Amino acid sequence: MKIAEGVEWAAHACAVLAGLPAGQGLNAAALASFHELPPAYMAKHLQALSKAGIVTAVRGAQGGYALARPASKVTLWDIQAAISGSEPSFRCQDIRRKGPCAGYSPRGVPCPITCAFAAAEAAYRDRLSATLISDVAREVAAGMGASGREVFRTWAERHGVSFAR
Amino acid sequence: MKIAEGVEWAAHACAVLAGLPAGQGLNAAALASFHELPPAYMAKHLQALSKAGIVTAVRGAQGGYALARPASKVTLWDIQAAISGSEPSFRCQDIRRKGPCAGYSPRGVPCPITCAFAAAEAAYRDRLSATLISDVAREVAAGMGASGREVFRTWAERHGVSFAR
DNA sequence: CCCAATTCGGACAATTTGTATCCGTTTAAT
DNA sequence: ATTAAACGGATACAAATTGTCCGAATTGGG
């Protein structure tokens, strides 16, 4: 079991977008450069976020990506689902329906093993769904300190973001 | 994110072993044939269970695998860890330490995103750890009905298991 | 109103991971 | 000694992940 590293990239990218004034965005190259990531691959993950409706994409000059809804309405689970998919990671193959006792398993009822894994995944999902991007962005901003926030602001302005005063 | 299918195989195999009289075992070929699984690959998973200390392996003629401890002391998490490994599936690459704001992230404290994923994985692990193989085996046996249990018993005896009376 | 720069979007290649098998070695019972 | 079985490594094959590229669409300026 392993989680695509793109999930981390996408989560950080969303946290950055959440730190901008509402409605403002950044293009894929800027979001990639902020964390020194491969631009082409970062772009691909942003496309996935776009397709999932987490961010809106604007094409053409001065285009880019912005959060499609308030950061308090975007969870880490949304992001993982957008990048890695939301199908359960445990896929029952119903092997209990094979072999000498094949006919003696109750129909319609999933086997206890499948149930247990489904419950565990639900617990995982619920916990991730409880973490909002707005919380993440606030914690990150707090950790950076005032000087860090100023550096971020300057960087964003150099990429076309205008902070209202 | 995806879980190795071998986890399901191993879990069912342990449930079968749990249904035998204490101390009795079955060889790899028998365990594979019970669910019509590829014998060579099943054998490899059983080796992983053995290395993890979940089952004991007896070499040589009349050898085979048996549970290393009571089924009530083996959890589904033990099995997943044995087959898929127990390293966290989310591996933080610390990309926040790259780029223009690299120097402004607090040291020693993991980033909020990593914390959230770690918490979610802990919830998953705890839930799986709460499911005992003894529970699984009991549910499976109950679902099979008396006739199914009789078929199972006959099959096991044909593979060298002796049920005390 | 058209051109050109810019940017997203999907198709395509490379790398890694997982699946599956086979064979030689080691070990134990008959 | 012979047979039966687990163990470990080597190896082939399939699939998912990672990574790059080029075309399509759109905006802004002239």
- Which pLDDT tens digit goes with each residue over B59-92? 999 999 999 999 999 999 999 999 999 999 998 8
| Confidence category of residue B136, pLDDT binned at 50, 70, 90 | very high
pLDDT of residue B3: 72
Closest by CA to A125, choosing from B127, B129, B130, is: B127
Nearest 5°: phi and psi at A77? -65, -40
Q: Are A72 and A138 in contact (CB under 8 A)?
A: no
Q: Which pTM does this prediction carry? A: 0.93
pLDDT at B13 over 80: yes
Q: With a CB-CB cutoff of 8 Å, which residues 51-90 of chain B face chain A?
A: 76, 80, 84-85, 89-90
What percent of chain B is modeled with pLDDT above 70? 98
- With tokens 């005390």, the residue in question is B164
- Give the Cα separation of A124 and B120 in Å (integer): 5
User: Which run of H or E residues covers position B56?
Assistant: strand B55-58
pLDDT of residue A121: 96
Could you tell me which residues are beta bridge partners of residue B103?
Answer: none
Residue-wise pLDDT tens digits, A29-71: 999 999 999 999 999 999 999 999 999 999 999 999 999 999 9
Find the Å distance, CA of residue A102 to C1' of nucleotide C29: 33
Q: With a CB-CB cutoff of 8 Å, which residues 125-154 of chain B face chain A?
A: 125-128, 131, 135-136, 139-140, 143-145, 147-148, 151-152
pLDDT of residue A5: 85
Residue contact A92–B155, C-beta within 8 A: no
pLDDT of residue B25: 97
Q: Is the CB of B47 under 7 A from strand D?
A: yes
Q: Do you know the residue count of chain B?
A: 165
SS3 A47: helix
CA distance to partner chain B, nearest, from residue A67 (Å): 18
Structure tokens at B33: 């044939």
- Give the Cα separation of A30 and B51 in Å (integer): 48
DSSP A135-158: HHHHHHHHHHHHHHHHHHHHHHHT
Of B95, B136, B144, the CB nearest to A104: B144
pLDDT at A1 over 70: no
The DSSP 8-state label assigned to residue A21 in this structure reads: P
SS3 A111: coil
pLDDT of residue B143: 95
